Amino acid sequence: MKVEILKNITSANDAIAAQNQQVLDKHNILALNIMASPGAGKTSLILQTINCLKGKLNISVIEGDVASRIDADKIDKEGIPVVQINVGSACSLEAQMITPALDKLPLDKVNLLFIENVGNLICPAEFALGEHRKVVISSIPEGDDKPAKYPLMFTLADVVIINKIDLLPHLEFDLHNFTKTVKGINPKVKIFQVSCNTGQGIDEWCSWISSQIKK
């Protein structure tokens, strides 16, 4: 019974997500759904990308959080249009939340939209939002076992970003094992090693974004 209910919920969500993507396609906007555990570096990656691509692309952000607008305020300080969505007791953004948020953004002036999802590695994998690419961030302090523990998230990802790579010499993290596990469950995934602290790998990540927009 629970499986059938979940199927009905996700089917309704997928229909709204498809409508959201049609709106984005109409305006030639690339939307990236940024997912990760709390503290992995979602907002930091978005800010680094803004600094890298400012003047080259017009960027907007939808910020999803349980409460507050702390991250949205950081984006706003960069002069980037941002909409805050607080989900309360929900564990993820859903497509129906994105629809009114799109209405609040200057879509005619946007090339790239970041949707920062709520921080966890379970619920966000279940709900499409209308994004074109799913991006999962996994940070060195979290350990190298996350792809094995949360396989659905990594199976659905178009991109996996290993963040805080500058901490690799100081923490136990088997980079080879992590990459092997990710590729084992998702052979086509693109993997980037970055540090939002030092800027390492950000240029390569931004080049990938630019290539996706050209497509």
DSSP secondary structure letters along 196-208: TTT-TTHHHHHHH
pLDDT per position as a tens digit, 13-36: 999 999 999 999 999 999 999 999
Mean pLDDT of the 84-108 span: 96
Number of domains in the chain: 1
Instruction: Tell me what the pLDDT averaged over the chain comes to.
Output: 95
Among candidates 89, 90, 137, 82, which has minimal Cα distance to 110?
82
Dump pLDDT digits (tens) for 177-210: 999 999 999 999 999 999 999 999 999 999 999 9
CATH code for position 92: 3.40.50.300
Q: What is the pLDDT of residue 10?
A: 81
Helical H segments across the chain, by residue range = 2-26, 42-53, 70-77, 95-103, 146-149, 151-156, 175-185, 202-214
Counting runs of H as helices and runs of E as strands, what totals does the chain give?
8, 7
pLDDT at 7: 60
20 contact partners, CB below 8 Å, separation of at least 6: 95, 98, 99, 102, 129, 130
pLDDT in tens, 51-73: 999 999 999 999 999 999 999 99
User: Domain span at residue 100?
Assistant: 2-214
